[in-house]
Amino acid sequence: MRKVKQEDGWEVHEILDPNQIKRITKYFHKRKRAPRIELKDKISQQLAGYALIEKDLWNVLVWLEEIDELYLEERRNSPQISPDRKTYC
């Protein structure tokens, strides 16, 4: 079980059930269990889809920054040919 404390008295308990191979999430506000309502209408499903797309795009940005850092580090360590011939002749 993992407990995550958030702002304003919110706490999330994540429980992995090995028998059913699923995750159970319980929400608490100031130590009182909060009601959970599952939304299945079209607008809710669309919003969930957009949230997943946004998460994927943020992951892409993080990976691109990581790739840029690796590429810059590799370029710093490799020999370079300078276009400034007066300085390096």
For residues 42 and 32, membership in a common domain is answered with no
**3-class secondary-structure state, position 64:** helix
Asked if 28 and 52 sit in the same domain, the reply is no
50, β-bridge pairs:
none
Same domain, 45 and 66: yes
Find the domain containing 16 and state its range: 1-36
Q: Are residues 6 and 27 in the same domain?
A: yes
Q: Is residue 70, in this structure, part of any structural domain at all?
A: yes
Identify whether residues 53 and 72 lie together within a single domain.
yes
pLDDT tens across 8-66, in order? 899 999 988 778 788 888 999 999 999 988 899 999 999 999 999 999 999 999 999 99
Whether residue 58 is found in the same domain as residue 43: yes
pTM for this model (two decimals): 0.51
